[in-house]
Chain A
């Protein structure tokens, strides 16, 4: 199974600060069809996860554009340009290139 390693496990930020989360894969996530199925989710406390970014860098409808995704192959990054209070929670990367789908261990974003 593909292992996704997220760093850091915990991130402390002030409102307005820009932060980045890394997701490294144990193998390339480039599918034979040319797509890369690496997505980012946010799970706020007590809620279901929600999709933020799909296919590395595509912003899901309704998600603020302070969120952005980048990367290729095995290294991916989620950036939040100006953290807001509603961004607090646990961020997960997830891959669907190789079955079974696998999730990263999560990065908890807290207020400093």
Chain B
């Protein structure tokens, strides 16, 4: 069965970076886009971007250009998202989701930015 396992919660300082992971299993990792979505407390959903692990192609929401960097490791079937120059506005739960249909979701990784 398809599963997306995400890394654990992060408490990070303003100005720093964080890298969160999404390990896929139960399907061919290189055949589907992996999307990343942000959800701030009590708020809705915001699309960050996607990566196609088959060839490494990426597409970003312009709003997250320079903030998020998506990568993928085919050998471990793991997608990564690095967030840089963190501020309190980056405190949120971050989800990975398979394909543009969002047919499978990870459990989310909570990132808290605080000094």
Chain B interface SS verdict (over half): mixed
Question: Roughly how many angstroms separate A102 CA and B44 CA in the complex, as a whole number?
Answer: 11
Contacts of A48 in B (CB 8 A): 95, 105-108
- For residue B19, CB closer than 8 A to chain A, the reply is no
Most buried by A among B45, B97, B105, B106: B45
Please, which residue of chain B has its CB at the minimum distance from the CB of A90? Answer: B44
Contact A49 B100 (CB under 8 A): no
Of the residues A39, A100, A103, A104, contact of B101 by C-beta under 8 Å = A39
Residues of B within 8 A of A37 (CB): 100
Residues of A within 8 A of B108 (CB): 48
Q: How many interface residues does A have (CB within 8 Å)?
A: 21
Residues from chain B with a CB closer than 8 A to the CB of A59 are: none
Report if B27 contacts A (CB, 8 A).
no
Closest CB in chain B relative to A10 CB, distance in Å: 14
Give every chain A residue within 8 A of B97 (Cβ-Cβ): 49
The answer to whether B105 and A49 have CB atoms under 8 Å apart is yes
- 6 further A-B pairs in the complex, CB-CB below 8 A; given A48-B95, A101-B47: A51-B102, A54-B101, A92-B45, A103-B44, A103-B45, A106-B45
- Jot down 14 A-B pairs with beta carbons below 8 A, ordered by A: A39-B101, A39-B102, A48-B105, A48-B107, A48-B108, A49-B45, A49-B95, A49-B105, A92-B45, A94-B45, A96-B100, A102-B47, A103-B47, A106-B45
Residues of A near any B CB (own CB < 8 A): 37, 39, 41, 48-51, 54-55, 60, 92, 94, 96, 99-106
